[in-house]
Amino acid sequence: MAARPRKREYRHLPEYLIFDKDRGVYKFTLITGKKKNIGKDRAVAIAIAREYNLRMRPANVPSVEILVRESGGVTGEAKPFAEHVDHIMERAIENERPSQNTLDDWNNDALRVKEFFISTPACDIELEHVNAYINHYHAEASANVQNRKVSFLKKLFSYAVDESLMFDNPATRKKMRRTEEKKRQRLSLDNFKAIRRAAEPWLRTAMDLALQTTHARLEVSRVRYSIREPKDGICGCVWLEQPENGIYGTLYIHRQKVQKK
C-alpha cells in the first residue's frame, strides 16, 4: 500500500517534521514514535530533521553513500561476498599451490562460503558472521576441524582485504579452540622384538632404520635404496663408489615436522 501523501502545508518540510500553528513551534517525530519540540526557527528545525533522518532513517533519505552502496560500492565491496569467492580462490591457488587433497578441501569449503554469504555484502561481514558460519556447518566438528575452517575463512578474507573489499579481517578476531595433543600408544621393546622376528626383510630393515635414526614411520617409509643426491621430497642413500674407513655412503632422511621451517 502506498504511503499517505503529506498535507500540502508540510510538503516543503523534511519527513516527520510538522509546524504546530497553535503553539508556533516545529515538532519532529522520532523513530520511537515520540514527538519532540525543536523550536521556532524554521531553518534550524529543517537542518535538524534532515540530519536525524539521514542518520536514523537512511533507507528513506537519498544520499551519495546509499547510491554508491546500491551500485555495489567503489571496488565491489557492497556486492555479496559470494560473488567474489571464485576469483579470490583463483588467486589463492595460484599463490599457494596447494596439494590436490588440500585443493579438494578448499573447493568444498568455497561452496559452503558462497552458499552462506550469498546475500551478505563483503564490507558488512563481521565476527558474528564467522561464528554463525561455523555453527551452521561445523557445530559438532572437532576443535581441529573448526580451527581449519576458521583458517580458511581467514585466508579468503585476507585476499578480500587486499582487494579493498573488506575493511579488516574478522576471522582474525575469532578465538581458536584448544586442541589436545595426540595420544600415542607406545610399543614396548618386547613387542617390538616380537614383531621384528616375524617381519619380512623389508619391514625388518625399516624397523632397524627407525631405531637407528629415531625417525617416524612415515619419514622412514620414504627412504630410497639409492639416490644420486638429496632433494626436496627425495631422500635415500647416496652410496660411495668405494668404501672409506668402513663407511659405504650417507643416508638422508627429511624431517616431516620441520620441512617447511
What's the CATH code of the domain at 16? Answer: 3.30.160.60
Whether 93 and 128 share a structural domain: yes
User: Is 23 strand, coil or helix?
Assistant: coil
- pLDDT for 60 equals 66
Q: What is the pLDDT along the chain (261 residues), one digit of tens a residue?
A: 444 555 655 667 888 898 888 888 999 999 899 999 999 998 998 999 988 988 888 766 665 555 555 555 555 677 899 999 999 999 999 999 999 999 999 999 999 999 999 999 888 899 999 999 999 999 999 999 999 999 999 999 999 999 888 888 999 999 998 887 777 778 888 998 999 999 998 888 888 888 888 777 777 777 888 888 888 778 888 999 888 988 998 888 877 655 444
Whether 51 and 18 share a structural domain: yes
Taking CA atoms, 196 is separated from 199, 202, 208, in Å, by 5, 10, 9
Domain residues for the domain of 225 are 189-252
The set of cell numbers assigned to 81 is: 561476498
Domains of the chain: total: 3
Whether 23 and 102 share a structural domain: no
Q: Under a CB-based contact definition with an 8 Å cutoff, are residues 36 and 27 in contact?
A: yes
Whether 161 and 203 share a structural domain: no
Residue 258, in any domain of the structure: no
- pLDDT for 219 equals 79
**Domain boundary residue among 173, 201, 217?**
173
pTM of the model: 0.51
Residue 178, sorted as left (phi over 0), alpha (psi -120 to 50) or beta, turns out to be beta
* CATH code at position 96: 1.10.150.130
- pLDDT for 2 equals 44
Beta bridge partners of residue 35, listed in sequence order:
29
Whether 205 and 139 share a structural domain: no
